[in-house]
Structure 1
């Protein structure tokens, strides 16, 4: 099998279906997985990618729990993982970030996910795959995880920047889903929905135009970029988009706004000004 790029089109995976070197991971809703999934795809329930402990429910689960999850899916060091979801890349990006934390960096994302696959008329099934537990063991990489202290350090550091992938209403503090509303001082707001092309079955928007936009807003490749949303689900897509663009210094703030906005000692701005 030729090594697959990070961003692949549905037809590229279709040509490789049945290849034993591939492990296809589906992070769609349980209903969508039961209704139709790519042949051979193993379902990873999105909730399993988050610890679920309030208030910061989006924090990453402990290593042992993730190793059990991926062992049950059949992951090992030799597998090339192909990831997709049904929503434009948020959960798929969160899964890729999780694999980065665990040190497994052989993976691809299907551009447009399940929606693009279905639109292309490619095969789906309701058949459940059988995968022998693999005994997967990861090597924890803290370098891609941002904690609240890392975010505090980044606020006044010209070599770092913060990407807030929430809605403009959340960013301005008009929609409040924590004890406090608003945004991290200095954070740049690009809603994750703006990364999806609805005319092309939720594929990523034009990458050259996206790079120009990021550069114009100070989210350039030379900086360390910390991305977040409410639970580091939507910001899974901003993380993934930067990976595809070739950024080398990206972190996911896994506590995200559910941590920041529920603390009393974290600085917050409101309105449109970063």
Structure 2
């Protein structure tokens, strides 16, 4: 009887996933756990991806059946500019090796807690890469591992390796934008360029960047404004932030181009606007500030817009 009730509950949770979140979005830990356990055939279970940069964190504890894919392995230095996305053939090989598959759901998580912990950005960056490579069933576990453990859901230290996956035959390159197209688009009517970094970096009060400030015309909207204060991996409902977004000029009728320092912060802001707020036209400038700052022929500014 208990097993029957569990199965009914699991199916109810699965129905809630498809009706509430769609194919790319956010999933609760309880729903994710049900997804992992409902399929006895491991080839049909969701692909669970632990995207944390610290491999020792994976060794300490991770979600059952989670395959560790360090987000940093998807980027490297190119023409002297650090943390650029790898060529597509190399990325595709890494994704297939992680079990990413065109026919399966992908559950992605990192960790959370409070700033300066920002590993949720690893989850949204990997989600962005999967979406770019044509994957259409992606769910980020809301609250990450921190919330998972708070709910006393199971963790393990056992390693898990997915079988090699099969990627879609076509990519979704339109979700990104390069610097050439950025410069053509950013000043067009109906286009908003938004910087997802902390405000001090936006106005050039930092010790990080080669050049200070932001791309001329960009507005500032720090990604953390979209997350719960006590868990930076937990997304605020759209109704809680709708007024803030609209006050900043980020509305569904605009073409929105997002960037940040290296594209991780921008990936979260894009994920939220596109897949939580359901804005139709949101793109990520992949090179972001680390690339733009190296292109000294292009101007910068420090005055807020």
Q: Give TM-score scaled by structure 2 length.
A: 0.83
Matched-pair contact (CA < 8 Å) for 1:56–1:255: no
Aligned length: 273
Partner of 1:260: 292
Partner of 2:34: 15
Partner of 2:156: 125
Partner of 1:237: 268
Partner of 1:64: 89
Q: What is the CA–CA distance in structure 1 between the aligned matches of 2:169 and 2:270, rounded to whole Å?
A: 20
* Offset, 1:9: 0.9
Partner of 1:77: 102
Q: What is the CA–CA distance in structure 2 between the aligned matches of 1:266 and 1:43, rounded to whole Å?
A: 39
**Please, which runs of 5 or more residues in structure 2 have no aligned partner?**
1-10, 112-117
Superposition map of 1:185-200 within 5 A: 185-200=216-231
* Offset, 1:155: 2.9
- Against the structure 1 CA distance between its residues 226 and 12, is the aligned structure 2 distance closer, same or farther, given a 3 Å change threshold? same
Matched-pair contact (CA < 8 Å) for 1:166–1:190: yes
Matched-pair contact (CA < 8 Å) for 2:47–2:162: no
Partner of 1:228: 259
* Offset, 1:55: 4.4
Question: CA RMSD of the aligned region, Å?
Answer: 1.9
- Against the structure 1 CA distance between its residues 10 and 226, is the aligned structure 2 distance closer, same or farther, given a 3 Å change threshold? same
Partner of 2:236: 205
Matched-pair contact (CA < 8 Å) for 1:24–1:81: yes
* Offset, 1:135: 4.3
Matched-pair contact (CA < 8 Å) for 2:134–2:168: no
- Against the structure 1 CA distance between its residues 266 and 138, is the aligned structure 2 distance closer, same or farther, given a 3 Å change threshold? farther
Q: What is the CA–CA distance in structure 2 between the aligned matches of 1:21 and 1:151, rounded to whole Å?
A: 39
Partner of 1:269: 301
Matched-pair contact (CA < 8 Å) for 1:35–1:126: yes
Q: What is the CA–CA distance in structure 1 between the aligned matches of 2:200 and 2:105, rounded to whole Å?
A: 39
Q: What is the CA–CA distance in structure 1 between the aligned matches of 2:265 and 2:169, rounded to whole Å?
A: 24
Q: Give TM-score scaled by structure 1 length.
A: 0.92
Matched-pair contact (CA < 8 Å) for 1:92–1:236: no
Partner of 1:25: 49
Identify the match of residue 142 of structure 1 among 161, 173, 181: 173
**Please, which runs of 5 or more residues in structure 1 have no aligned partner?**
none
Between 1 and 2, higher relative CO (CA 8 Å, sep ≥ 6) is seen in 1
- Does structure 1 residue 216 correspond to structure 2 residue 254? no
Q: Deviations over 1:50-97 (max 9, x none)?
A: 233364333322111121111111222111111111146211111111
- Against the structure 1 CA distance between its residues 138 and 37, is the aligned structure 2 distance closer, same or farther, given a 3 Å change threshold? farther
Larger radius of gyration: 2
* Offset, 1:21: 3.3
- Against the structure 1 CA distance between its residues 51 and 141, is the aligned structure 2 distance closer, same or farther, given a 3 Å change threshold? farther
